[in-house]
Amino acid sequence: MVFAGLEHMHKYCFIVTLSYLILCQITRVYVFDYGMYSADFTGPMMVITQKITSLAFEIHDGLTKRDAQLTPTQKYLAIRRMPSLLEYLSYNCNFMGILAGPTCSYNDYKAFIEGTGYQPRHQENANGKENGKYKQSEPSPKNDVISKLCTCAVSLAIYLSLCKLLPVEHAVDDDFVSSTPFHLQVIYLYLAMLALRPKYYFVWTLADAINNAAGFGFNGYNKDGSPRWDLISNLRILDIEFATSFKSFLDNWNIQTALWLKRVCYERCAINPTAATFLLSAMWHGVYPGYYLTFLTGIAMTMAARAVRHNIRPYFLVSDSYKNVYDVVTWASTQIAISYTVAPFVLLAVGPSLKFYRSWYFCLHLLCLLTVLVLPVKSRRRQAKEQQDGPQKDGLQDNQTDHNSTDNNCNQKDKAT
């Protein structure tokens, strides 16, 4: 970061840190213990990789680009001065997020350290009576910390109670597959994934509570004047469990990692950013084949879900009853699609993963392929470009109309003369 030029520094940092992380993942899987799910050194390495690459891209944006070249988010995150060694080490290795994260931006962390993280958010979100009420004292995270610790306790209790009763591995058992009707296999897979998710709820909520207890994570005020402590929250449990689209589920799951993928890959990749983002996510998670099967399936699922939403959803928005029916159907479809997609992520190895997909006859893969081929859908960048071009075309038409009217007036004057 110091010796490389600012123009290409972010690329070198990205390649070096990701390569080192992959080397650590290979060592952990093939040298120590294949299939090990205990805490190990690669967990902190994954968090530090996110922080180093984020910092490099934010420095590149702040020191090499003009504001006009940046999106509003990139402009807010841009770093205008090279951090000192102490600032760099503090950001990457602070005790609050060294083990489980979550990742945060450098500017947010610096504002927290310098004690300036409350005032700007206070001025933007609070007004009137609320402003006077909270202006003289810093907001307390006590209530949010207690609430998150209670969520941790409930999540841990649910996981310990159900993880042995509903193992995902049972879904590929020969006796289970041969003797269980297909619709019951679908229900079992959903329940097994439902019992598995509280493990992640526990870890990420506890990490968020630790940061909040230290005073980090303030994100302005609610309308009633109560402080919000969700700046670096990593999930929204209710939005996950009641998600009605594949995108909605992903947007509320591992939020900070999703933002990292968006900022360093999706917004900057010129060729097929969706596929590139899923591939980067697989490489960041590790070297188990199941990870790659999951994220390759996720590409197809995302494209198919986008096509369905753009082509079919408008027909169900004509009335509340139609929309309720659509929400119920898409909720069930989303939960099944997520469970189907994530199964290899849990099974890890190629054999069990392909065995699972064969037991389902690759039905959702084929359905996604058929949906993408039949239903047309525009990419998000193309839609954004058309939206930007629309006002420009309108402006050109207005100018052309004004020009034509001016010419007509001139012609009339000439004829009168």
Residue in 149, 47, 148 with CA at minimum distance from that of residue 104: 47
Q: Tell me the pLDDT band of 14, cut-offs 50, 70 and 90.
A: very high
Could you tell me which residue, 167 or 129, shows the higher pLDDT?
167
Q: Are 334 and 243 in contact (CB under 8 A)?
A: yes
pTM: 0.84
Q: Which two tokens stand for residue 299?
A: 């590409």
As a whole number, mean pLDDT of residues 46-73 equals 93
As a whole number, mean pLDDT of residues 234-249 equals 94
Q: Is 158 helix (H, G, I), strand (E, B) or coil?
A: helix
CA distances from 149 to 96, 206, 231 (A): 16, 7, 17
Q: Where are the alpha helices (H) located in 163-181, listed in sequence order? A: 174-179
Q: Is 308 helix (H, G, I), strand (E, B) or coil?
A: helix
As a whole number, mean pLDDT of residues 382-392 equals 53
Interval 327-347: pLDDT, tens: 999 999 999 999 999 999 999
The answer, yes or no, to whether residue 39 has pLDDT greater than 60, is no
* Residues that are catalytic: 254, 285
As a whole number, mean pLDDT of residues 80-96 equals 93
At CA 21, angle to CA 20 and CA 24, rounded to 5? 90
Q: Are 189 and 226 in contact (CB under 8 A)?
A: no
Residues in a beta bridge with 221: 227
> Can you give the pLDDT at residue 136?
45
Q: Which two tokens stand for residue 408?
A: 């007509």
Could you tell me which residue, 291 or 38, shows the higher pLDDT?
291
d(Cα 353, Cα 338) in Å, to the nearest integer? Answer: 15
The answer, yes or no, to whether residue 315 has pLDDT greater than 80, is yes
Question: Among all chains, which residue has been given the structure tokens 């494209």?
Answer: 303
How much is the CA Rg of the chain, to the nearest whole Å? 26
Q: Which two tokens stand for residue 249?
A: 């589920």
> Can you give the pLDDT at residue 35?
54
Q: Tell me the pLDDT band of 381, cut-offs 50, 70 and 90.
A: low
Q: Tell me the pLDDT band of 378, cut-offs 50, 70 and 90.
A: low
> Can you give the pLDDT at residue 118?
77
Q: Are 217 and 211 in contact (CB under 8 A)?
A: yes
d(Cα 137, Cα 95) in Å, to the nearest integer? Answer: 26
Q: What is the DSSP letter of 7?
A: T
> Can you give the pLDDT at residue 198?
96
Q: Which two tokens stand for residue 202?
A: 């526990």
Q: What percent of the chain has pLDDT over 90?
A: 69
Q: What percent of the chain has pLDDT over 70?
A: 83
Residues in a beta bridge with 227: 221
Q: Tell me the pLDDT band of 223, cut-offs 50, 70 and 90.
A: confident
The answer, yes or no, to whether residue 406 has pLDDT greater than 50, is no
